[in-house]
Amino acid sequence: MQLNPYLFFDGKCEAAFKFYEQTLGAKIEAMMPYEGSPAAEQVPAEARKRILHAMLRIGDQVLMASDEAPGKYEAPRGFYVSINLQDPSEAERVFGALSKGGNITLPIAKTFWPTSSFSESPSGTMVSASFGLSINLITARSVSGSPPTTFAA
């Protein structure tokens, strides 16, 4: 069995997936707009460039998403997408990119909890990244320094 998160955006799915593709070294495998699909008539003409379905492959994991129909979007709440990285310098790079235009909920610091990916307490951070997605970033070893607690949006 494989679990794949399915995210909803408010007209920013394509931009978000292009950003994640570049930042995370991922590959967009599908990017289907409403326009030209059987679902085109279900949204107003001005919304047909929105994304009906997108799929992003990150290593052996898949993240899927779409744009919600105009007026139907609700900001995601109650969950984080967790990204586990072995290399602390890569974690710092990803953290810097994800936190631009977002808010840092928890700065990078050694955690007190173990994870399934790392046997000892790793370093972690929580970021409400641009595009509205909350991300829990975890790395195996301590990272240097402590980033500021917020970035300007």
What dotted CATH number matches 6-67? 3.30.720.100
Residues 83-137 have pLDDT tens digits of 888 887 888 888 888 888 778 877 777 766 655 544 444 466 666 667 888 887 7
How many of the other CB atoms lie within 10 Å of CB of 11? 14
Mean pLDDT of 51-59: 96
Kindly state the tokens that stand for 112: 């007190």
Tell me which of 3.40.640.10, 3.10.180.10, 2.60.120.10, 2.130.10.10 is the CATH number of domain 81-139: 3.10.180.10
- Cα separation of 49 and 11, whole Å? 9
Mean pLDDT of 4-14: 94
Q: Identify whether the C-beta of residue 108 lies closer than 8 Å to the C-beta of residue 50.
A: no
Q: What pLDDT is attached to residue 106?
A: 76
Q: What is the pTM of this model?
A: 0.80
Extents of the domains making up the chain: 6-67, 81-139
